[in-house]
Structure formats: structure tokens, C-alpha cells
Structure 1
Amino acid sequence: MSFSLSEREDTIIALATPQGVGAIAVIRLSGKNAIKITNEVFFGKNLENQASHTIHFGTIRDGEKIIDEVLVSIFKAPKSFTKENVVEISTHGSSYIINQVLKLFVRNGVRLAKPGEFTQRAFLNGQFDLAQAEAVADLIHADSETSHQAALNQMRGGFSSEIQELRNQLIHFTSMIELELDFVEEDVEFASRDDLRALVERILTIVEELILSFDLGNVIKNGVPTVIAGKPNAGKSTLLNALLNEEKAIVSDIAGTTRDFIEDEISIGGVIFRFIDTAGLRETTDTIEAIGVSRTQEKMKTASLILYLFDLSDTDLVEINRDINKLENLGVPFLKVANKTDKAKENISKELKLQHPDTIFISAGKKENLEGLKSRILELVNLDKFRTGNTVVTNIRHYDSLTKTRESLLDVLTGLDNQVTNDFLAMDIRRALHYLGEITGQVTTDDLLANIFSKFCIGK
């Protein structure tokens, strides 16, 4: 989805609030003629004579026919979201009214907006850079405190300013090296190679920290896939129900009740966890249950965290140690959760604490020590870096550009080690600048913009 120069001159319109019946709906227009065209169908004050950032009551009419009583907000360029003239019409939330208003404006020369076109215009008009534009979509879809905070920080330019500072430092050295190419016969050095090495190493340190932050950023943005696993009747479904505070999963004393997996989300400490209740792990001749066990094993391999439940009323230490060894070989972070403390066999809890002091003891059925379990779960996510205000990368596109930047900077260091000529050094630095510029949109293509903004909703 790309826009021609003529399309960028169009006045566009879209419903900015969700589809469906509601108390009100907001219809948004943007473009040079947005206020003028609205004024032609609005009966009230002359909108073209009103100040920016004002709201006006009146009616929208199709000829003599009144479609609705509305409030019209006007924002005059460049003091608007898109830096164009913007109008927002608040109507009643009837789908009939919305459609009548949209059709009226289309007949008057306004074009229906494409997905993300308002935000793309804001980017193209210099309201913010590409990373900030992407953060708008992240902010809309944020469903937890941490994802909201990460998107807000990026939208306000925290990440962009850090990338821009890195580019500025590299640009200075590139210009000095390229200047040397004009004086190659004089053998003049405008850029100290030691200073260049120190700069590249310093930037590499920052870039690598940003790359490493993506694991945390991905957790913040998409949630933590957390598998609840264990033997049949260990209390997995009971734990899921207790964490969700609802009867999501069927609970039964009959082993093998859960044949597939059940999934739901819960926010713990501002982080979304996607808990997955799985089939009990055991050897079985039941074909359907065997499929469930196989799926459980696959889910465990791809999880970010495993809560492995031991039934204290029906498990011995030999079996527990055998399961722990299997989990350690799996290579996925896991918590040892001893369940049914109220029914524990004599001495097993004491022995388990001695051999595995990091075990968490709970009773899912009685909802005992669930807060302690949640605290331990949060410890493994490690949000300290995020909460201290450090920049966290949450976007896979940014992560990809940063890894390519790192490769280019490593090539610069290799070139310095091998004393390559200035033109090769300049080429590697320009590649690093290119990939950093891709993040903020200083280097871009129509295809890239089309891919990014096509994922936005129509009215944004």
C-alpha cells in the first residue's frame, strides 16, 4: 500500500472509533480542504472563520435533510496530528448515521482513508519519525501497564533520540573520512583512526545492549507464554482456574481429563502472561490423550517459562528428581511448584525443601501462596532494566536493523585492524548509517512504508 503524490493531496475520511453501535462515533477528516468541505454540509457557525482547536454544535445535512446533530472539532494546519487541516465529527453511534455521513462526504469529493493513512501523513509531514509512528499502533494495542509504558516512551521519542545521537556521531566521522579522499595525494588525516575505533566500540556497546533488550521487549509487547505442566492430577487445571479466578478448565479426579491445551491471559505486575494448561505427562494407550501429551511436550519446548507441578500427596522424591533432570535438559526456564500442601505425604515437604530450596509450595485448591508464586514468576521476567528507564526494543523491524548495524560496525573494526583504505571504511560506516536510518525513517522505501502502515486500523 503506497500513495501517489496526487493521493497525498486528497482529503481523506474514516471512522476513528470502533465499528458497531455505541453512544457516539467520531468521524475524522484530514487534508487541505477538510474544513472547507465540512463547512459545506455543516449548519451552524462558519467553520472556516473559527479558531483552531475549537468545538462547534450544529447539524450535518444532505440538502434539506438533517442526518444528525453533531459536534465538530477543528484543528488547523500545522497544529494537528497530521499537520494538515483536520476535522473530527462526533455523531450519534448509529451505523446508519455513520454510513450516511461517510457517503455524503464521499459524494462531495472526499476519499475513504486507507489503513494507517492518517499516521502515515503525520510521518510524511514531519510530525514524528517512523519509530514514533509505529509506537502509535503499539499504544492502541497495549493491553498491560508495561506495554503501554514502552509504547508511550517510544512515541514520545525516547528510542528515536538515542538512535539519532548514534547516527550524528557516525555522520561526523564519515564526513571527515570522505573529506580525506579529496586530499589523498597530500596524505592528510582529518579523522583520527584511534578516535574512530573508540567511537565505533562505544556505539557497538549501546547497539548490543539494545539488541539484548529485545527479549524483554518481546515479553512486554506480546506477553509471556507460560506452560503449566506436570503429571495427571497434579492440579494444573485447578491452578489455572485459581490464577484466572474463574472456572476456565474442567477439574476432575479422573486422570487425563485435559486432552488438549487451554489458554488464557492474566496480568501480573503489569506484564501479560499467557498461561497454557496442558495434558498430564504420562505414558498412555489412549490415542486422544497421547496426542495431548505430545502437544504438551511441544508447548514446553517453545515456552518462555514452565510451571512444573508436583502432587505432594501422590509423588515421591525419586520421581520428582527424575522430572527435574528432564526439565533441566530441556533448557527452558522453569519453576518447581509443589502443589496440594494441605494433602502432602509425611516428611516429603521437608525433604523437598532440603534438596530443592527454590521450590514454591502452594495449594491451588485452597488458593494458598498464589501471591508468592506470582512474585517468583515476575522475578524470572526481570523488569528492573525497563523500570529504571532504559530504552527497550519491542519491534522486530528495529531489532533486525540493529543486528545489521552491529555487523556493519564490526566490519569497520575489522577494516581498522587490517588498515583498509578510506573508501572501504566509509562504505562500512555508510551501511551502519543506512540501517540506523531505517529505524527512524530517514532511510526508507515505499514498500517499507506500505508494510508498516497497512497493519494500522483504518481510522488511525
Structure 2
Amino acid sequence: MKVTTEYLADNIVAIASGAGYAGVGVIRVSGANLSAVIAGLTHKDELKPRLAYYVDFYAAANEILDSGLVLFFRGPKSFTGEDVLEIQGHGSPVVLNMLLKRCLELGCRMAEAGEFTKRAYLNGKLDLVQAESIADLIHAESEASAKGALKSLKGEFSGQVQQINQQLIHLRMFVEATLDFPEEDIEFIANAKIKSKLELLQQEIHQLLGSTKQGVILNNGANIVIVGRPNVGKSSLLNALANEEIAIVTAIAGTTRDVVRQKIIIDGVPFNIIDTAGIRETDDVVEKIGIERALHAVASADLCMVLIDDNVGMSAADQQILVQLPEALPKLFIHNKIDLSGETPRISQQNELTQIYLSAREGLGIDLLRAK
């Protein structure tokens, strides 16, 4: 991979470690020539690449600012493809800012957000997918999203795209040969089985698109919306899944007026649980707005949990709610309040629809829902 975009390869610097106090803090410098920075900061004329040195870090007046490790990576064998200097000092924000200020005195400028990764891309060290994966890995909120981002960073997704691209180029060769020599019966074209290869390639593309959708869900979380009549226990279910009192719960129908969102992690996978206003006919202006927002949340959901009061059973009002849900949207039917109906916690399949029996208030069957 080679990117020819030109840019000013001046020396840039930034604190690479997180904010706050720590045992070790890291500062990185990248540029075309770091000799002045190395000499001014460490009082060493040269550093051997990929070798850790324990040194003192000096101010302009030869005052020692800190001591720690320094590593030098000579381009292009570095993250950015340029010369890179990694400074590891004590993780005090004051100390790190003193070292940062010294680097600026030695001719560096503050790096813009993402500029190290940008230079890695411009120098052909990463492609765009890998560059985006760095941000995904840094901001990962679950084990699954971190593992997925790391796979993309290692080039797994890019490799699949490149493989498909090469197959398309190969098929294009046969198509162009057919167009250039329409009157000739060329044996290698006849034996190429272009149609079957194209169909196989279409399958690979659909599989890749499916994996990217799964990757988006792992990164951002699956949107799971809870819908049902007023007072069937939607907010209680949200609280039970989150293991804390997120939503207000009362015996008064219509307590929830707005959409309430909570991210939870189950087995390393993030889920965005969305509690909504109870759906019913009403003249209350505020409640109507809440119901409209509930239906809007349903439109962008990956899964819908339809809550039913098991003490009452499927009612005409429940059927009316089902009519308003997208037919293609996957659904789980949650029969709540089994502590009142006398039902036991269980999962059943009825007409190819999953039915889960639980009590959100008592915590019965919540483990079955989490496992599902």
C-alpha cells in the first residue's frame, strides 16, 4: 500500500498516555529529523533504534526535569513511517507538561488530534480501515468490541476486501477478452465459468457485509427497545437488566413519558436497552409525544422486547401494539409478572416466536433473558 499525498513532515509531539496520575507517562514525538530533540532532551548525540535507554531529561539550562526511559524508532520502521521518539517519564501531569514544553522549545509543535495515525496512513503504514480501528479500539466499551477492533487493526477486514478486489479484477479480464474477441472461440474463456465465479463472489460480498453489520453492533451496541402497554413493567425490566434504579417505577400508568436509555454489557457484548412510554390511545399531549418517541425508537431498533402482563394475558391492546411494529423487526415476547400469575420462569417457542416468562420486580427469570 502506497499513499502519495504530500505533507509537511515537521516534528510533532503529544502526550500519549491517559489523563490523570500514574506510575508512568508517555510522550511521543514524530518527524523527519529528531536529532535536535534527542540531543537537547537527553544530552546524547545518537540513540540506537529499538533500544531502551535510561536517561535524565534536561531543560534548556541543563536542569534535570525528570528521568526515565527513551526509545528511538527510525523511519520507515515505525508507527508513522517517520523517525519516532518515545519518552517514558513519571506519570505526573506536571512532569509530563514540563517535558512537553521542552519538546516544543526544541522545535516541535503540538500534534493535532489523530495526526500520528494520519501520518501513518499517508506513509502507507495503515489503510483507512485500520486507521479507524485504532479509534474503535481506544473507545471500546466491551471485550467483544475490543477484539473486533484489534482484528481490523491487524488487517483482517482489509485482507478480505483486497481478496475480493483481486477476484473482481480476474473476472474483469475474462469479460474484456470476450468483448475484444467476440467472434473467436477462445478455449480459456469458455472454460472460465465466469457466471458461477461471479455468483460465488456475490456470496462472499454478502457475507462480508453481514460481518461489518455485526462489527457495528459489537462496537456501538445492539439497540433493544422495550415496548408494551402502560404499567406492564417495562421500567422494572430495564432496572432489573441494569441492576440499578435507572427508571422511575410506580403503580400509576403512564409514569414513563420519555425514552430512557441504558447501556449494559452481557458476556462481553454491549446492549443499548431502551425503555419507552406505554403505547395506548390518550388525550394527554405530553404522553402522546412520549408514544411518538417510542415508535421512533422502534424504527431504529435491532430487537424489540414486547412486554405482556402474564396476569392478564395477550389483550386486544397488546395486539394493537403488535400491528404498529415493523414486521421484519426481530421480537422477543416477555410475559412479565409471573409472581402474580403463578407461572414458572421458562422459555418456550410458540409459532416460531420466543416467549420468556419472568418477573422483573422479583428478579425471577431475568437470567433466562440475559442468556437469550
Question: Where does 1:360-439 land on structure 2 (aligned, <5 Å)?
Answer: 360-376=356-372
Q: Does 1:163 align with 2:161?
A: yes
User: AA paired with 1:309?
Assistant: L
CA distance in 2, matches of 1:115, 1:223: 25
Q: Name the structure 1 match of 2:15.
A: 15
CA distance in 2, matches of 1:354, 1:169: 45
CA distance in 2, matches of 1:19, 1:62: 26
Q: Name the structure 2 match of 1:451.
A: none
Q: Name the structure 1 match of 2:32.
A: 32
CA distance in 2, matches of 1:144, 1:253: 35
Query: For 1:25, what is the secondary structure of its paired residue?
Result: strand
Q: CA RMSD in A?
A: 3.4
Question: Where does 1:172-191 land on structure 2 (aligned, <5 Å)?
Answer: 172=170, 174=172, 189=186
Q: CA deviation at 1:356?
A: 8.9
CA gap 1:49/1:180 in 2 versus in 1, 3 angstroms: same
TM-score (structure 1 length as normaliser)? 0.70
CA distance in 2, matches of 1:60, 1:128: 34
Structure 1 counterpart of 2:329, from 317, 329, 332: 332
Query: For 2:278, what is the secondary structure of its paired residue?
Result: coil
TM-score (structure 2 length as normaliser)? 0.85
Question: Where does 1:160-309 land on structure 2 (aligned, <5 Å)?
Answer: 160-172=158-170, 174=172, 189=186, 192=189, 195=192, 196-309=194-307
- How many residue pairs match? The answer is 368
Say if 1:180 and 1:188, in contact at 8 Å, map to a contact too: no
More helix by share: 1
Query: For 1:192, what is the secondary structure of its paired residue?
Result: helix
User: AA paired with 1:125?
Assistant: N
Query: For 2:201, what is the secondary structure of its paired residue?
Result: helix
User: AA paired with 1:39?
Assistant: A
CA distance in 2, matches of 1:354, 1:217: 31
Q: CA deviation at 1:17?
A: 2.1
* Deviation by residue 1:127-151 (Cα, 9 ceiling, x = unmatched): 3433223222222222222222221
Q: Name the structure 1 match of 2:354.
A: 358
CA distance in 2, matches of 1:113, 1:357: 54
User: AA paired with 2:369?
Assistant: L
Q: Name the structure 2 match of 1:104.
A: 102
CA distance in 1, matches of 2:328, 2:14: 49
Say if 2:56 and 2:65, in contact at 8 Å, map to a contact too: no
Structure 1 counterpart of 2:316, from 319, 334, 356: 319
CA distance in 1, matches of 2:47, 2:19: 32
User: AA paired with 2:37?
Assistant: I
CA distance in 2, matches of 1:245, 1:186: 73
* Deviation by residue 1:235-284 (Cα, 9 ceiling, x = unmatched): 11111111111111112222222121211101123221101111222233
CA gap 1:221/1:329 in 2 versus in 1, 3 angstroms: closer
Q: Name the structure 1 match of 2:114.
A: 116
Say if 2:345 and 2:364, in contact at 8 Å, map to a contact too: no
CA distance in 2, matches of 1:353, 1:199: 40
Say if 2:259 and 2:276, in contact at 8 Å, map to a contact too: yes
Say if 2:345 and 2:356, in contact at 8 Å, map to a contact too: no
Q: Name the structure 2 match of 1:132.
A: 130
Query: For 2:316, what is the secondary structure of its paired residue?
Result: helix
Say if 2:26 and 2:89, in contact at 8 Å, map to a contact too: yes
CA distance in 2, matches of 1:101, 1:140: 24
Say if 2:223 and 2:273, in contact at 8 Å, map to a contact too: yes
Greater RCO, CA 8 A, separation 6+: 1
CA gap 1:361/1:48 in 2 versus in 1, 3 angstroms: same
Q: CA deviation at 1:320?
A: 6.6
Structure 1 unaligned blocks of 5 or more: 377-460
Query: For 2:25, what is the secondary structure of its paired residue?
Result: strand
Say if 2:263 and 2:272, in contact at 8 Å, map to a contact too: yes
